[in-house]
Amino acid sequence: MKAFFIQLHQKLVTTISDEQKWSLFQHACVYISLGASSAVMTVVNVFTGKGWLTWVTLAFSVACLINLLLTSRKGVPAKIAMMLFAAEITAIFIYFILSGDPDGFSVIWTVMLPSFGLLLFELRYGTCLSLLVFAALIFFFWTPPGQSLLQYDYSPTFMMRFPLLYLACFCVAFLLERMSEAARKALRESHRNYEYLCYHDALTKQYNRFWLQSIIAQPEKYNIKPAAVAILDIDNFKQINDNYGHPNGDVVIRAIGDTILQTLNGSGDLCRWGGDEFLVLFHTDIDADTVCRRIVDAVHAHTFQFDGHSMCTTLSIGLVTTPDGSTDDIDALIHQADVNLYVAKDNGRNCMISSRLGD
């Protein structure tokens, strides 16, 4: 049971963090709650013989069901459902105001509009919708032409006070929605920062090993099928740390990561594989062999200045390509690229060893 609630909490946090999913979830909840309430009221109206009110609540219940079905399809149908709902809820509340059924009670339902309107249509459009109904209340309750259209004999005190009650409900709903919006915005920002820290290396700002492991574990989510994988290792990096210190070693790692990324120029995804190693997932239509050779040359051409001394470093690269242009077996590519890297090291470093998967 505890595991169930933990999973439920995680799904809720994920939904809230995704603005589109959260919006669809809110709409679905509103349509379900209002549709169910209207269905119950329809049954009550049938047994109490309320005539037209029965058909109105039934029609609204069906309309909520249609809105729910449209929302489940997302995209344009969900937007159509929103527009339909705005027209439907405005029409039913004006009917409640005019008819007063049953016994002047139905009009009280209009105080729910600010909450639902601001929830579904955000502050700008929800405010417009709520104020539109408020204007209708003023017209029907406070002006002689509007009062002449009323089919129920409201008391003067009720007609005077009810628009003010509605306005108070709107102000409270507006304040709560502003607070809720700020909280959701902070949560989404926190979630984005968490994802960035989770998938990026703190030193180089490139993807990290956890990002790659996530791709391997959920290939269908990321839809990445690389054409090649290269593992790149900085030659004699321990000597750099020993001679110039670990802070300067960090400078070297960061600069080489930037050089690799610039040379890739969008042809692959770069991650820090660990320590002084990087890994590249090449995209499907890239000449990985040529790009890797450019990386070797670019890194070798980079000069560092530490304590008045100039130095340059080199890379060894193990590259493996796929015979069919792409594969989802990233583990096999990584293993073969690692084998090729060790061959490059044994061959004197500052070079690249390449092979095809399965050779």
Which residues are tagged catalytic? 276
- Alpha-carbon torsion 322, 328, 332, 334, what sign? positive
Report the half-sphere exposure of 88 (CA within 13 A, side-chain side). 23
**Cβ–Cβ < 8 Å for 287, 295:** no
Q: Beta partners for 232?
A: 278, 317
> Can you read off the two tokens belonging to residue 181?
């919006």
Per DSSP, the three-state class of 211 is: helix
Q: Backbone phi, then psi, for 151, in 5-degree steps?
A: -100, 0
**Cβ–Cβ < 8 Å for 192, 185:** no
- What single-letter DSSP state applies at residue 314? -
Q: Beta partners for 230?
A: 280, 319
